[in-house]
Amino acid sequence: MKKEKLQSCFVQLVFVAAVASVWEATARAHIFGARSELIFPTLEAIGSAFVKNFASGYAGVSFWIYILNSMKLLLLGLVLGIAGAVLFSGLSVASRVFYYIYNLVVSVFDLIPGVALLPVIIILFGIRPSVIVFLVVHAVIWPMSRNILDGFAAIPRIYVEAGKNIGLNQLELLTGVYIPAATSYLVSGLKVSWARAWRGLISAEMIFGIASCPGIGLYINQMRTNMKNAEMYATLIVIVLIGVLVQYGILEPIETHTVKKWGMTK
Amino acid sequence: MRRKISVTAALTLAAVMVTATGLPAAAEAADTSVNLAFQYGLAYAPLTIAKEQKLIEQAYEEATGKTVEVTWTQMSAGADINTGIASGSVQVGFMGVGPAITGCMSGVGYKIFMNLSGQEHGLMSNREELATLEDLVNSDEQVALVNIGSIQHIILAKALEHAGFDAHALDANLIAMKHPDGMTALESGNVACHLTTNPYIYKEREDMEASGLHEIEGISDVWSADNSFIVGVCSAELCEEDPALYEALCQAFAEAIAYINEHGEEAAKITCEFDGTTPEEELQYLEAGTYATETSGVFELATFMAEHDFLDTAPESFADLAYENVEGN
């Protein structure tokens, strides 16, 4: 087990180092013509832009403020989205009619990009940070619901029948049978939702920049507008780092202590 | 052995990923093609004329006897056009004077080769208590405009300074959203003010009585329709290496501008289709704009931008921003 972990770490490190060296070689080869340095900066330039982002921020606003604002909106959207998905999927277990409707709603709305809904959202919610929260909820609730619904559908009938036989009511069935049996689906739903929420947040902030609540997406846009490509790439690295931190610091431990411990997945 | 395989696999995947992120644009076909990038709106009307009447192709053929293949690409932001020109995949771009100045001063490798148009800007509000810029500065109401750091933002900063306030006094009140989204937000009462341009500013003025809007004065005093709004930029390579094509571009767009000024009705019939208006509306909007090849106020604007943190390096003279043939300032 330990050996496998080491091996996976080693392969991943080699992979990252290889990507970095190919990037650096490409940047140094100036293959994009005279302005190569500007549009395809070297790792050194990106590294110093990374430091500069945190040291000086932009237009008198610290970079930490951008990150904190984004994380705040993201967390709120993520919690609301997951809670909504669990609630509605739970109701789908209780009522067949609700299931038919919700199944259709999930299939339809999962296909609609959040940013395409912006005009409607502006009219409904006004112009405030809650619009971004709404877009994050939209990014999370449908894939999460789809995973939960599929997870519930995959539970062997015999478990549900056994639960009914010992006299569980609908709520007890949900918490005692459906949710534990579908945990592996819930965990993979969490992973997908987290990534969708993160992406949804950044694209919403890029389209809809609120100066009184500036987020990472707005920062990327400002760097693009000012032709500061190294700073822009450095910001993308920050996005990836936060994503990886959540993936390995929060989501993996959850997986290890639930489905892996219970022997539901490898 | 297995380790070797996984390392090779990782290396190959890495190489594929990096090369996939951006190969250099395909080699251009000989000396007879040019890629132009522009954005959406009435301010770009002369481009539609040049495109529909094939003015560039004709001008180049008359001058050299050779043919040129012109590719037009519509992009959504000046920043994207800047990247396109820096990478060499686009040679000529049309954009707001703000990003054009930023591009000239951050080494994208182009300069302004002509002015395209000037358009009226205005600040509309749906809150009765906001009558002047001073009311706005003293409130925490929000102002929607197309982007932080955009030409509209710079014009607002200029107007604030002109009215005796700090140029950045309203920075924390800004909301960046596209012109049509901003209009929706203003008319539904979700944002207090909207700083916008042709045709949205005229649409909002038309709706003034019905939707209870009014205009906050002070914007067009500092930047009118006679000042440069959209300019054309051309890569240094094209300007130096293919002077005949450069000449043809200048001539074609000058003809297109003259066509709009002299044959407004015919021009409106051509461009209305692309702007989604009727020919009558289109003519009205075209007449409200200024279409001219001479720039106006560009150097002054760049100096203002450098003084107020919109630009890192200040230009020393107009020659840092525009090629020799450009008339104006």
pLDDT tens profile B84-119:
898 888 999 999 999 899 999 988 899 999 999 999
Query: Is A59 close to B87, i.e. CB distance below 8 A?
Result: no
Which secondary structure element, helix H or strand E, spans residue A191, and what is its range? Answer: helix A183-207
Fold annotation for B33-119+227-320: D-Maltodextrin-Binding Protein; domain 2 (3.40.190)
Tell me the per-residue pLDDT of B257-306, one tens digit each, with 9 for 90 and over: 999 999 999 999 988 888 778 888 889 889 889 999 999 999 999 999 99
Percentages (nearest 5) of helix, strand, coil residues in chain B? 50, 15, 35
Domain that holds residue A105: 64-260
- Minimal C-alpha gap between A119 and chain B (Å): 6
B162, B221 Cβ separation under 8 angstroms: yes
From A30's Cα to the closest Cα of chain B, the distance in A is: 10
Using an 8 Å CB-CB cutoff, list chain B residues near A26: 18-19
The answer to whether residue A35 sits within a structural domain is no
Tokens coding A245: 């931190």
Cβ–Cβ gap A23/B18 under 8 Å: yes
Residue A33 lies in a domain: no
Q: Which residues pair with A131 in a beta bridge?
A: none
Q: What is the pLDDT of residue A115?
A: 78
Q: Residues 6 or more apart from B62 whose CB is under 8 A from it?
A: none
**Number of compact structural domains in chain A:** 1
The CATH number for B121-216, chosen from 3.40.50.300, 3.90.1640.10, 3.40.50.1970, 3.40.190.10, is: 3.40.190.10
Tokens encoding A12: 């991943």
Average confidence (pLDDT) over B209-230: 89
Average the pLDDT over B5-27 and give the result. Answer: 56
Cβ contact (<8 Å) for B181 and A122?
yes
**Which residue in A14, A35, A122 is closest to B86 by CB distance?**
A35
Q: How confident is the model at residue B9 (pLDDT cuts 50, 70, 90)?
A: low
Q: Would you say residue A135 lies in a domain?
A: yes
Contact yes or no for B252/B246 (Cβ under 8 A): no
Contact present, B145 and B182 (Cβ < 8 Å): yes
Residue A29 belongs to some domain of the structure: no
The answer on pLDDT for A250 being more than 70 is: yes
Structure pTM? Answer: 0.78
Helix (H, G, I), strand (E, B) or coil at A21: helix
pLDDT value at A107 more than 90:
yes
CB contact under 8 A, B177 and A207: yes
Dihedral sign, CA of B219, B194, B301, B117?
negative
- Could you tell me the residue ranges of all domains in chain B? 33-119+227-320, 121-216
Q: Note the pLDDT tens digit of each residue in A170-201.
A: 888 888 888 888 888 988 898 888 888 888 88
Q: Is the dihedral of CA B206, B209, B212, B216 positive or negative?
A: positive
> Does residue A161 lie within any of the structural domains?
yes
Distance CA A116, CA A135 (A): 10
Predicted local distance difference test score (pLDDT) of residue A5: 83
Label residue A160 exposed, middle or buried (CB < 10 Å: 0-12, 13-18, 19+). Answer: middle
Residue A138 lies in a domain: yes
State the smallest CA–CA distance between residue B87 and chain A in angstroms: 6
Cα distances (Å, whole numbers) of residue B92 to B27, B33, B109, B225: 17, 11, 11, 24
Q: What pLDDT was estimated at residue B24?
A: 44
Using CA atoms, how far apart are residues A216 and A73, in angstroms rounded to an integer?
11
Whether A38 sits inside 8 A of B106 (CB atoms) is yes
- In this model, does residue B163 exceed pLDDT 90? yes
Q: Which pLDDT belongs to residue B11?
A: 61
CATH number for the domain that contains residue A185: 1.10.3720.10
